[in-house]
Structure 1
Amino acid sequence: MEHLLEVRDLEVRFALRSGDFTAIDKIRFSLDRGERMGLVGESGAGKSVTGFSILNLISKPGYIAGGQIFFRGRDLAGLSVAEMRSVRGNRISMIFQDPMMTLNPVMTIGDQMVETLMAHRKISRASAEALSVEKLKAVHIPSPETRLRQYPHEFSGGMRQRIVIAIALLTDPDLIIADEPTTALDVTIQAEIMDLLLELCTLQKMAMILITHDLGVVSQVTEKIAVMYAGRIVEMGSTENIVANPQHPYTKGLIRALPGSREAGVRLYQIPGSMPNLSSIPEGCAFNPRCEMALDLCRHETPELRQRGAFQRQVACHRVGEIPEKKSEPCFPAGHGEGNENG
């Protein structure tokens, strides 16, 4: 069966005065129709760059240096500007972190939605407005006919994010890429937005890539997870198996750092050190300076992402067999938005 999206050996570099630096290092993953995947890691891991690459939105000095991105059987990297426009915002939509950066402050919500529809479809303004009202209802915006005539500043943060989601849904896309869609919202609104995305994906059979640093969020929304570190995928598999039995020391550290993973009053775990920048990625396994299990081998040889263990997941670690696999419950409580600080 053909995948909806298949990324093969994607490599993204940034051409700086001091030289070219690799931001994404030959990552591979696939997504089927209606499937939901979480792309997880700390800031600087390469999550957002991956999302932008799929839509060919990498701006200079960044560029796609290699690999292929197949969407519905077509290699997006080989499309012309006009052909890419028929995919971007049409078959693939993106939801960005800050709705105020997405919405035009001097245009009404209705004008922005109608403009989006008319850019991708041959449709009358009256039909576009009717469809806009329908999509606002789908994201639970009250009095949508009235709301169309209002400006972004007249809405709360949560309502603005719902409107951004409604705009992303206008063309009934096959895939939504949600880049930290709840970062600027409080915990209660975060839960509502994630519930809404899950509801829409289920009802409309859309696939979704959820980009976030919060394993607590992806555990509630996605079916599989790809954990990224320094531009590489270090662990990938079903959400249930990875959350219950993390096999890469970095994944294990992210989960241990979540609120709820320890008793009340006990200081939260913190992974020592920080994400390396592009100009100083360590030799061997990039995580080795921060890893409590690192061997000399880890400092000189980069582990490949391979199928490991009984739980059918891929892991890039020389010592993965030494982390016991067992069936267990997630080590943090259910619920959205918990631990929304950098893990």
Structure 2
Amino acid sequence: MALLEVTNLDVRFGLRQGEVRALRDVSFTLERGERLGIVGESGAGKSVAAFSLLNLIGKPGFIAGGSITFDGLELNSMSERALRKVRGNRISMIFQDPMMTLNPVLSIGEQMVECLKAHRRISSKQARAIALDKLQQVQIPSPETRLDQYPHELSGGMRQRIIIAIALLLDPDIIIADEPTTALDVTIQAEIMALLLELCEQHNVGLILITHDLGVVSQVTQRMLVMYAGRVIEQGPTREIINDPQHPYTQGLINALPQMATPGERLNQIRGSMPSLSNLPDGCAFHPRCDFINKANGEPRPACVQKVPEFVDSGNCRVACHMVAEMQEDRRLKLEEIS
């Protein structure tokens, strides 16, 4: 049995004009020590999926259906009091902006000691010793000094290292990292991701990495989910999806990477934009932007505009697309022409 199992997760937001489905039938698993990436454009539902795991969705959002099972515990049916024993303790979360996570009026040491004492029956001296050890693990220089400093006295990269140290304080089974390097420059991003990967491997911690950066996903994760308009549209081993994407949306994301463009030419891009969740197109939500659905006469294919695609197996991946078989045949013919 997987450490974490999410089945047909349905998350909605109750608005005046009616309910909006932010997540639709999202299912995935995470094994102990495994690293999973969740990618997609802004508005795809990545962060909502992450927040749902610990029921951190603010009103008017709510989990309308499905199940979230962690180590035999049904998280979405647990009371708030019981769930607090899991949050931060067995499942930790790293948010996008460390300055929004850290309390500006408490020193780093006070915040780390407070976190430990909320979950463990230990003295302040013992808690401070553990906090110091975690700061050393995340390679914070002069950790004794940093414990008595405040967040505003530290650089962005230093603050993010401290957030990682706090996430590791209680030796969790899973860390959920929601765009953990968004506010950092490129060199610091690489250092933070390398550190996070090293720590997860050392402590056999499962990692769920939420990001829009396919480069980071390819280097850090073992499996990945691609989300679009609140639904998982492709999932499987990271290396297979990066090397041979099956869904037109995934292909578009990879083709939009700068290294995929011809030098001196405009970058490739997916035409159009993510649809509003309150006004999703019929059939496949991606069909208005898809370059593969048009027939010779320019009319869209009936299946793509009428029916939500079911998952089909393609190698070790699962893809929600009506066109998988046809696209595979098209690629085969092109390879034959080249050879």
Give yes or no for contact 1:38–1:222 (8 Å, CA) kept in 2. yes
State the secondary structure of the residue aligned to 2:81. Answer: helix
Out of 309, 321, 325, which is 1:303 matched to? 309
Counterpart mapping for 1:198-237 below 5 A: 198-237=197-236
Give 1:3 deviation, angstroms. Answer: 0.5
Letter in 1 for 2:68: I
Counterpart mapping for 1:141-220 below 5 A: 141-220=140-219
Give 1:263 deviation, angstroms. Answer: 2.7
Give yes or no for contact 1:36–1:208 (8 Å, CA) kept in 2. yes
- Aligned residue number for residue 314 of structure 1: 318
Partner Cα separation in structure 2 for residue 210 and residue 3 of structure 1: 18
Partner Cα separation in structure 1 for residue 160 and residue 276 of structure 2: 31
Letter in 2 for 1:51: A
- Aligned residue number for residue 337 of structure 1: none
Partner Cα separation in structure 2 for residue 105 and residue 59 of structure 1: 23
Give 1:251 deviation, angstroms. Answer: 0.2
State the secondary structure of the residue aligned to 1:184. Answer: coil
Give 1:323 deviation, angstroms. Answer: 2.6
Q: What CA deviation, in whole Å up to 9, does each residue of 1:264-298 have, x standing for no partner?
A: 21211010011111111111000000001122210
Partner Cα separation in structure 1 for residue 212 and residue 304 of structure 2: 25
Letter in 2 for 1:136: L
Letter in 2 for 1:257: A
Are 1:275 and 2:274 matched, yes or no? yes
Partner Cα separation in structure 1 for residue 136 and residue 87 of structure 2: 24
Q: What CA deviation, in whole Å up to 9, does each residue of 1:217-255 have, x standing for no partner?
A: 100000001000000000000001000000000000000
- Aligned residue number for residue 59 of structure 1: 58
Letter in 1 for 2:251: K
State the secondary structure of the residue aligned to 1:278. Answer: coil
Letter in 2 for 1:15: G
Partner Cα separation in structure 2 for residue 6 and residue 75 of structure 1: 10
TM-score by length of 1: 0.93
TM-score by length of 2: 0.94
- Aligned residue number for residue 328 of structure 2: 324
Partner Cα separation in structure 2 for residue 38 and residue 191 of structure 1: 16
Partner Cα separation in structure 2 for residue 47 and residue 168 of structure 1: 20
Letter in 2 for 1:314: R
Letter in 2 for 1:241: E
Give yes or no for contact 1:236–1:313 (8 Å, CA) kept in 2. yes
Partner Cα separation in structure 2 for residue 70 and residue 304 of structure 1: 23
Give 1:81 deviation, angstroms. Answer: 1.2
Return 5+ residue gaps in structure 1 as ranges: 328-343
- Aligned residue number for residue 248 of structure 1: 247
Q: What CA deviation, in whole Å up to 9, does each residue of 1:82-137 have, x standing for no partner?
A: 11000011000000000000001111000000000000111110000000000001
Larger Rg: 2
Give yes or no for contact 1:233–1:305 (8 Å, CA) kept in 2. no
Which range moved further: 315-324 or 21-30?
315-324
Give 1:262 deviation, angstroms. Answer: 2.1
- Aligned residue number for residue 336 of structure 1: none
State the secondary structure of the residue aligned to 1:13. Answer: strand
Letter in 2 for 1:161: Q
State the secondary structure of the residue aligned to 2:260. Answer: coil
Give 1:306 deviation, angstroms. Answer: 2.7
Give 1:150 deviation, angstroms. Answer: 0.2
Higher helix share: 2
Letter in 2 for 1:175: I
Partner Cα separation in structure 1 for residue 326 and residue 240 of structure 2: 17
Partner Cα separation in structure 2 for residue 261 and residue 323 of structure 1: 20
Give yes or no for contact 1:262–1:268 (8 Å, CA) kept in 2. yes
- The root-mean-square deviation of aligned C-alpha atoms, in Å, is 1.2
Partner Cα separation in structure 2 for residue 138 and residue 324 of structure 1: 46
State the secondary structure of the residue aligned to 1:84. Answer: helix
Partner Cα separation in structure 2 for residue 28 and residue 126 of structure 1: 43
Partner Cα separation in structure 2 for residue 245 and residue 323 of structure 1: 12
State the secondary structure of the residue aligned to 1:30. Answer: strand
